[in-house]
Amino acid sequence: MKPPHENYASCDATTLAADDFFKEWVRTPTPDSEAYWLSFLEHYPHKQSELNEAKKIVESLYFELPDLSEAKVRALKNRIETTIQMPLSPADAPVIPLQRRKFSRIQWIAAACVVLLSGVIGYWYLQHPQHLTYATTYGQTREISLPDGSIVTLNANSKIEYDSDFSKKNIREVWLTGEAFFSVKHTATHSKFRVYTNDLEVEVLGTEFNVSNRHQTTKVVLASGKVQINAPDKSATLRPGDMAEFSPATRQLTQRQVKTELYSSWKEKIWLLEDESMTEVAQRIEDTFGVEVIFENPQLAKEKISGTISTGSLEEVSEIMGNLLKTNFELTNNKLIIK
């Protein structure tokens, strides 16, 4: 019987690595166990780092000792010496009497080489932090807790990346593709927080803001606090209620006052529309649900609508939009046709 997810919610990496159910998954994964831990991460995404660390512990403790010939061991030893650029002394390979049956001397050399190689690889990873990535699919939103306590809510079809040593840096850096709402935690050391898109750099100390990086245009809408926007050869300082928009095609950075809730309501799975053209709404549908929107009557694309649209599913959006426009929506072959 599988334990409930909450049993592992407060576990650190060491506790996870000692758990029999967890160890069984790492050593002999099955479709059922893979689904269980994937579901666990969907409920507790902030446990990703502990899970990764626990897996490494289990894998290092339970590796199978390789059955290597002397020639292979010598080759492995040479590879390690080339990697670390120094010879291995005899002390690195303990001399064990050959008459002992459990392990021969050559097996101990193999084990020593494997352990040393693991150490070299581990040191390399410490010196070269890895990128951690979180992403959403079409129709999905996701809340992610960063190591510093900041919260990122990812919109559909979006991705963020940051280094594994994120919270140790003087500048906390996140790379965004798509759209996300950031609630940034102010740190005791006043470390800066930066969000990078293809074209812009957003820098803050502690604030809440929405960033959309789609269709060769980046929009930043500030809900609270203060942010600095840096574009090629241009910059702007935003205050609550401001939106900055940059297009690399025109190289123009514009700034204006907006109703911030119109740009962040997607977090609550609703769209607040205020005199928005159907062309813009169609683009929202395509970005969120991954379908192509087709107008049978081109004049409909020019219509402007206002209202609240629940975005729990494409079917729900279609039904509400149909009522607002007094028309029918038909989904076929990944195309949403507005009749």
On whether both 83 and 41 belong to a single domain, the answer is: no
β-partners of residue 243 are 221, 256
Of the candidates 235, 260, 285, which is a domain's last residue? 260
Contact between 251 and 218 under an 8 Å Cβ cutoff? The reply is no
Q: How many helices (H) and strands (E) does the chain have?
A: 9, 18
Domain limits at 105? 70-127
Backbone angles phi, psi at 194, to 5 degrees: -125, 140
pTM: 0.62
On whether both 13 and 30 belong to a single domain, the answer is: yes
Contact between 228 and 241 under an 8 Å Cβ cutoff? The reply is no
On whether both 108 and 23 belong to a single domain, the answer is: no
On whether both 141 and 243 belong to a single domain, the answer is: yes
> How much of the chain, in percent, has pLDDT values that exceed 70?
79
On whether both 158 and 241 belong to a single domain, the answer is: yes
What pLDDT was estimated at residue 34?
85
What pLDDT was estimated at residue 96?
38
What pLDDT was estimated at residue 189?
84
- Cα separation, 80 vs 237, whole angstroms: 52
What pLDDT was estimated at residue 221?
97
How many separate domains does the chain show? 4
On whether both 154 and 236 belong to a single domain, the answer is: yes
- Cα separation, 223 vs 153, whole angstroms: 14
The residues near 101 (Cβ < 8 Å, ≥ 6 apart) are none
Closest CA to 308 of 287, 294, 323: 323
Q: Which amino acid is at 134?
A: Y
Contact between 263 and 212 under an 8 Å Cβ cutoff? The reply is yes
On whether both 141 and 87 belong to a single domain, the answer is: no
Of the candidates 127, 144, 173, which is a domain's last residue? 127
Q: Say whether 317 sits in a helix, a strand or coil.
A: helix
Helices (H), 44-101: 48-61, 70-84
H or E element, residue 107: helix 105-127
pLDDT per residue as tens digits for the range 251-298: 889 999 999 999 999 999 999 999 999 999 999 999 999 999 999 988
On whether both 161 and 186 belong to a single domain, the answer is: yes
The residues near 164 (Cβ < 8 Å, ≥ 6 apart) are 49, 129, 130, 131, 132
Place of tokens 């927080």: 193
Of the candidates 109, 127, 145, which is a domain's last residue? 127
Residues of the chain short of pLDDT 50, as ranges, are 63-68, 89-103, 125
- The β-bridge relationship of strands 234-238 and 227-231 is antiparallel
Helices (H), 230-326: 261-264, 278-289, 314-325
If one counts every other C-beta atom within 10 angstroms of the C-beta of residue 122, the result is 12
What pLDDT was estimated at residue 93?
42
On whether both 138 and 32 belong to a single domain, the answer is: no
- Cα separation, 219 vs 202, whole angstroms: 11
On whether both 42 and 91 belong to a single domain, the answer is: no
Task: Indicate which CATH number applies to the domain containing 274.
Answer: 3.55.50.30
Task: Indicate which CATH number applies to the domain containing 165.
Answer: 2.60.120.1440
On whether both 195 and 287 belong to a single domain, the answer is: no
What pLDDT was estimated at residue 61?
62
On whether both 209 and 197 belong to a single domain, the answer is: yes
- Residue length, the chain? 339
H or E element, residue 306: strand 304-310
Place of tokens 């769209």: 271
DSSP labels for 201-250?
Answer: EEEESS-EEEEEEETTEEEEEEEES-EEEEETTEEEEE-TTEEEEEETTT
